Amino acid sequence: MSDRDGADRSITAEALRRDFGKLHAVDGVDLEVPGGQIFGFLGPNGAGKSTLVKILTTILNPTSGRASVGGYDVQRQGGKVREAIGVALQDVGLDPLMTARELLMLQTELFGTPRDEARKTAERLLVTVGLDDVDPKKRAGAYSGGMKRRLDLALALVHDPRILFLDEPTTGLDPASRAAIWEEVRRLNDDFGMTIFLTTQYLEEADRLADQIAIINKGTIVAQGTPEELKRQVGDEVVELQFGSSDDAERAQDALAPVAPNRQRSNRELRLYFGRAAENVPELVRVLDGAGISLQGLTIEQPSLDDVFLRVTGEALEHEVDEGADDVPAGAEVRS
């Protein structure tokens, strides 16, 4: 799909598969990301996120199937794909001895841009990511985590890509830095129509930013839609019960099965899904009293993406996890 200037900014995958021996890291994935969207890509640790991103950015070859990025086939037209995309991977790799301007100029010149123009590009991008007021002599190694993330984002933008891949761009950042990155991602999308493929460990991040979301589990897409569509699939309302121990929560899960068939447990909490939650509370309390299970707390709320994730994967999404390339075995073939 082309956007406002006629350039193709879409991402598609058809029956995409990547095997490592008997491991199916990506197992028949179909995706269609229209140009100009922010696309959130979620999954448990080791689910296949990193492998899929590496295929789409031409780092890895698929075992079978096909994918196109910006209208170019990732296997047959890898050079064209790389011209169209910017990539900011999870691990920020900055030379700690260089300044932000030096890094940006070097990256820009590697794309064949003359030095004077590279200098202008560096200044423009520092403004774009809010680093223009930093001491120009300050070396990247002295930057805070949030500043490094913003500089890494600027480096991914030096050639004005029409599609941007961001692999967990806010992992480990404080709330203020995370909010600044969110604002910048939204602005890039709004102002330039840039397609942004965002993998994240933060469900709030996906909920706030993404137009569409896909959840991958064990190499397969298990849910896809807008955040609101996915939440509606869970149920209208949620009753969350808190217990004093995980054993009590497990006993409650069994005891409540006849009156709350749609339920999920996580540690000491049990979440129950109903069309009208409040009407079911008296019966829930009665069953728990009859089973001798002590209830520590009860709340009623709307479904969240946490509920969606828990339901389709069977586990809660761990936040501060350094996934890296955990779903790509050591020694795997990568593209040059």
Q: What is the CATH number of the domain that holds 131?
A: 3.40.50.300
CB atoms within 10 A of CB 17: 17
Percent above pLDDT 90 for the chain = 57
Summarize the confidence of residues 204-225 as an average pLDDT: 93
Are the C-beta atoms of residues 90 and 323 closer than 8 Å to each other?
A: yes
Distance, CA of 256 to CA of 280 (rounded, Å): 11
Average of per-residue pLDDT across 307-327 = 61
Q: What pLDDT is recorded for position 324? A: 41
Q: State the average pLDDT over residues 168-179.
A: 81
Tens digit of each residue's pLDDT (9 = 90 or more) over 17-50: 999 999 999 999 999 999 999 999 998 888 889 8
Residue 239's domain is classified under what CATH number? 3.30.70
Q: Could you tell me if 299 and 204 lie in one domain?
A: no
Residues 161 and 237 in one domain: no
Same domain, 63 and 156: yes
If asked whether residues 211 and 303 sit together in one domain, one would say no
Distance, in Å, from the CA atom of 334 to the CA atom of 59, rounded to the nearest integer, reads 6
Task: For residue 153, count other CB atoms closer than 10 A to its CB.
Answer: 23
181 and 165 share one domain: yes
CA distances, 203 to each of 53, 164, 198, 207 (Å): 19, 20, 12, 6
Please check whether residues 283 and 215 belong to one and the same domain.
Answer: no
* Chain centroid offset of residue 140 CA: 25
pTM above 0.85, yes or no: no
Residue 189, domain member (yes or no): yes
Q: What is the mean pLDDT of residues 151-156?
A: 89
The pLDDT, as a whole number, for residue 328 is 53
Domain with 235, as residue range(s), is 231-313
Which residue has 């999954």 as its token pair? 43
Mean pLDDT of 213-237: 89
Asked whether the beta carbons of 141 and 92 are under 8 A apart, the reply is no
Q: What's the mean pLDDT when you consider all of the chain?
A: 87
Tens digits of residue pLDDT in 92-147: 678 899 999 999 999 999 888 999 999 999 999 998 888 889 999 999 999 988 88
**Is there a contact between 238 and 273 (Cβ–Cβ < 8 Å)?**
yes
| Residue pLDDT, tens place only, 239-287 | 999 999 999 999 999 999 999 988 888 889 998 988 888 899 999 999 9
| Residue-wise pLDDT tens digits, 79-98 | 999 999 999 876 667 889 99
Instruction: Quote the CA–CA distance of 17 and 20 in Å, as a whole number.
Output: 10
pLDDT given for residue 2 in this prediction: 46
Domain assignment of residue 3, yes or no: no
Question: How many structural domains comprise the chain?
Answer: 2
Chain mean position to CA 11: 15
**Last residue of one domain, picked from the residues 164, 195, 225:** 225
Largest CA-CA distance found in the chain, in angstroms, rounded = 78
Q: What is the 3-state secondary structure (H, E, C) of the chain?
A: CECCCCCECCEEEEEEEEEECCEEEEEEEEEEECCCCEEEEECCCCCCHHHHHHHHCCCCCCCEEEEEECCEECCCCHHHHHHHEEEECCCCCCCCCCEHHHHHHHHHHHCCCCHHHHHHHHHHHHHHCCCCCCCCCCEHHHCCHHHHHHHHHHHHCCCCCCEEEEECCCCCCCHHHHHHHHHHHHHHHHHHCCEEEEECCCHHHHHHHCCEEEEEECCEEEEEECHHHHHHHHCCEEEEEEECCHHHHHHHHHHCCCCCCCEEEECCEEEEEECCHHHHHHHHHHHHHHCCCCEEEEEEECCCHHHHHHHHHCCCCCCCCCCCCCCCCCCCCCCC
Task: Band the pLDDT of 331: cuts 50, 70, 90.
Answer: very low
